[in-house]
Homo-oligomer: A and B are copies of this chain.
Amino acid sequence: MTFKIDGIVGALRSARGASARTVDRDGNVLELPSPRDLSEIVSGIISSLFPRRYGGARAAMNGALDYFVGYTLDKALEGLSKQVVRELVFTAALAGRDVNDAESASRDIVQNFADRLPAILEILYSDVRAAYDGDPSAKSQEEVLLSYPGIKAVVHHRIAHVLYKLDLPIIARIVAESSHSATGIDIHPGAEIGPSFFIDHGTGVVIGETAVIGERVRLYQAVTLGAKRFSVDESGALVKGLPRHPIVEDDVVVYAGATILGRVTIGRGSTIGGNVWLTRSVPPNSNIVQAQARSDTFDGGAGI
């Protein structure tokens, strides 16, 4: 009439016991930042940046809007601060370090983050304008802000990137993945991306940790800016942090499905054609397209 679960509960306990886990000096399991909480926090930050479009606020005179912005921002920062404490404590425990006053350190970091928001907003306006200018079907910047997945991805990335620079890689990653899940666009929070950046359609785009992207760059769906290979040290372990992803200079366009791998440089003003596979640098103003190589003999499909 009911399920027999006592044995299962016990077996799950044993399995958990055998797994690696990070504990503090007293043996307590440490909490990690919460994706659910961060999702709400980032949503609050975005509402404070775009109060009329994301915030559900009335179209109000500046006075009343400031109350909304201040309230929303303050609440989001307060929430963020708790998540930052978790990352600081967890990371220190991983490294065997002590944490002195994680709460105070967290507040400084979060204040620092907040101070950069006006600059983030300025860049995001440039991104919205780039989408508006680059897409003939866009009728207004407001519409772009509302409905373009490429804009959603870049808004999240610019927030995640600041968090990454403030030495919060776990939180930054969680923010990036929530955007990845919603848009299919996977931008590592470490990537450096200049203003007026636009990704159209976007599904399947992957941009690696050390990629550097200039101003006014435009990407289409399924573009990969990846690493060619991982460097391995003498002991065979992966070497971390080396520049291993492409540098894409100003005013480059990369069409759908193109794959660019390794620390190569795509010169300014170049155009990379659809589905191109590129593992070398190209000079400024290059036009790269895929080889023509087709046959008309049917050899099967990719049905699954």
Contact = CB atoms under 8 A, between A and B. Distances in A.
Interface of A: 1-6, 8-22, 26, 28-35, 48-49, 51-53, 56, 58-74, 77-78, 90-91, 94, 107, 110-111, 114-115, 117-118, 121-122, 125, 129, 136-137, 139-143, 146-149, 169-170, 173-174, 177, 180-184, 186, 188, 200-201, 203-204, 206, 208-209, 220-222, 224, 226-230, 238-240, 245, 253, 255-257, 259, 261-262, 271, 273-279, 286-304
Please tell me how many copies of the chain the complex holds: 6
A204 B206 CA distance: 11
Contact of A139 (B94, B140, B261): B94
Contacts of A125: 15, 18-19
Nearest to A111: B3
Nearest to A289: B299
Given A5-B74, A274-B277, A227 B303 contact: yes
Contacts of A304: 188, 200-201, 206, 208-209, 220, 224, 226-227, 245, 256
Given A32-B142, A206-B221, A148 B136 contact: no
B295 A291 contact: yes
28 contacts: A3-B107, A5-B67, A5-B74, A12-B121, A13-B62, A29-B59, A32-B53, A60-B74, A136-B239, A137-B209, A139-B170, A143-B170, A147-B174, A181-B183, A184-B203, A200-B304, A201-B206, A203-B204, A256-B304, A273-B298, A273-B300, A279-B299, A287-B297, A287-B298, A288-B298, A289-B296, A290-B295, A291-B294
